[in-house]
């Protein structure tokens, strides 16, 4: 079965062909943090010296841990997306990432399976939505004082009815599971990409969940 989500299998064969990429000196790399604990990003930082190697061949153009840019740029080559899609902001950013990125990597178990953020789907009401139930549980039932539902339109993003893994929202090109994926695993996945090759995602070292 061809995986429908994997619409752009090779980084070298982009559909949104950014003209002249092969000549571009540096890979444009982004990392995005959706509904996750940032553990995957911490693990990314654990790459230690490899980060210097990375900096030599790639520009970090968007990242909560690497650059201050607040707007996701155009023509990104590779993006590591941490976290599940839990609210409207996550959803909007995921869609932008897909539009502006050639190779999207589902980065860590939350992005791949919805993982811990997805646990709120367990308190779904009969219509399948856990949006209200999770707010009531968190802000009313468990409140010690001043119980009230958050209400700040335009400031606090609205929750989606269900928390979804990234590939149920946008097409994903590579899955890098792990909670978090170890620095070694991240390195094994990224290094081939820098050389224009697709990493081999096989074996417990590369794809075991958890």
Partner 1 sequence: MSVITLSVNGKDVAIPEGGSLLEATRAAGVEIPLLCHLDGLEPVGACRLCLVEVEGSNRLMPACTTAASEGMAIHTHTHQLLDYRRMAVELFFAEGNHICAFCVANGNCELQNVAVQVGMDHSRFPYQYPQRVVDASHPLFAIDHNRCILCTRCVRVCDEIEGAHVWDVGSRGSHCHIVAGLDQPWGEVDACTNCGKCVDVCPTGAIFHKEDTTAEKLRHSDRPALLKAARDEHVWRNQ
Partner 2 sequence: MSSSAQTKPARQLRCCGASGCRSAGSEELQAALEAARDAAGHTAQELAIKPVGCLRLCGRGPLVACDGPGGTTLYGAVPPTEAGALIEATRNYDHASDTLQASRLDPQLPFFALQSSVVLEGCGQVDPESIDDAIAFGTYSQLRRCLHELTPEEVREQVKRSGLRGRGGGGYPTGLKWDTVALQPPGPRYVVCNADEGDPGAFMDRSVLESDPHRLLEGLAIAAYAVGADRGYVYVRAEYPLAVERLRKALQQARRAGLLGSGIDGTSFALTIEVRVGAGAYVCGEETALLQSIQGQRGMPRPRPPYPAQSGLWGAPTLINNVETFAAVPVILREGGDWYASMGTAGSKGTKVFALSGAVTNTGLVEVPMGTTLRSVVEVIGGGVPDGTPIKAVQTGGPSGGCIPAELLDTPVDYESLLELGSMMGSGGMVVMGETTSMPEVARHFMRFSVNESCGKCVPCRAGTVQLAQLLERFVERRASPADMAKLDALCRMVKATSLCGLGQSAPNPVLSTLRYFRHEYEAACRQPALCDRP
Q: Which residues bind partner 1 (CB under 8 A)?
A: 1, 3-5, 106, 109, 112-116, 118-119, 121-122, 124, 165, 167-168, 172, 175-177, 179, 201-204, 207-210
In the bound state with partner 2, the residue whose beta carbon lies nearer, of 75 and 129, is: 129
Here the tokens at position 22 are 């092969």
Q: Does 4 bind partner 2 (CB under 8 A)?
A: yes
Least distance between partner 1 and beta carbon 109 (Å): 6
**H-helix or E-strand spanning residue 103:** strand 101-107
Q: Does 163 bind partner 2 (CB under 8 A)?
A: no
In the bound state with partner 1, the residue whose beta carbon lies nearer, of 1 and 56, is: 1
For 67-75, the CB contacts below 8 A with 24+ separation are: 72/30, 72/32, 72/96, 72/97, 72/100, 73/28, 73/30, 73/100, 74/100, 75/18, 75/28, 75/100
Tokens 């990242």 -> residue: 63
Q: Does 89 bind partner 2 (CB under 8 A)?
A: no
Using alpha carbons, select from 126, 107, 124 the residue that is nearest to residue 165.
107
* Interactions with partner 2, residue window 100-159 (CB under 8 A): 127-129
Residues lying near partner 2 in the complex (CB under 8 A): 1-2, 4-5, 7, 85, 91, 95, 127-129, 160-162, 164, 168-171
């Amino acid at each position: 079965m061809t995986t429908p989500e994997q619409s752009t299998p090779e980084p070298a064969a982009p559909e949104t062909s950014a003209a002249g990429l092969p000549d571009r000196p540096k890979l444009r790399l982004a990392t995005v943090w959706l509904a996750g604990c940032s553990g995957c990003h911490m693990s990314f930082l654990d790459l230690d010296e490899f980060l210097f190697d990375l900096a030599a061949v790639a520009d970090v153009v968007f990242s909560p841990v690497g650059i201050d840019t607040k707007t996701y740029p155009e023509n990104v080559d590779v993006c590591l997306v941490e976290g599940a899609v839990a609210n409207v902001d996550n959803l909007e950013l995921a869609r932008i990432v897909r539009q502006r990125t050639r190779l999207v990597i589902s980065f860590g178990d939350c992005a791949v399976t919805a993982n811990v953020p997805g646990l709120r789907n367990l308190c779904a009401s009969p219509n399948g939505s856990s949006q209200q139930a999770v707010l009531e549980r968190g802000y009313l039932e468990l409140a010690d004082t001043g119980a009230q539902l958050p209400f700040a339109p335009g400031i606090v993003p609205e929750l989606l009815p269900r928390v979804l893994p990234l590939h149920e929202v946008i097409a994903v090109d590579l899955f890098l599971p792990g909670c978090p994926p170890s620095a070694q695993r991240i390195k094994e996945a990224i290094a081939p990409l820098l050389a224009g090759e697709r990493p081999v995602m096989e074996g417990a070292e590369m794809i075991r969940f958890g």
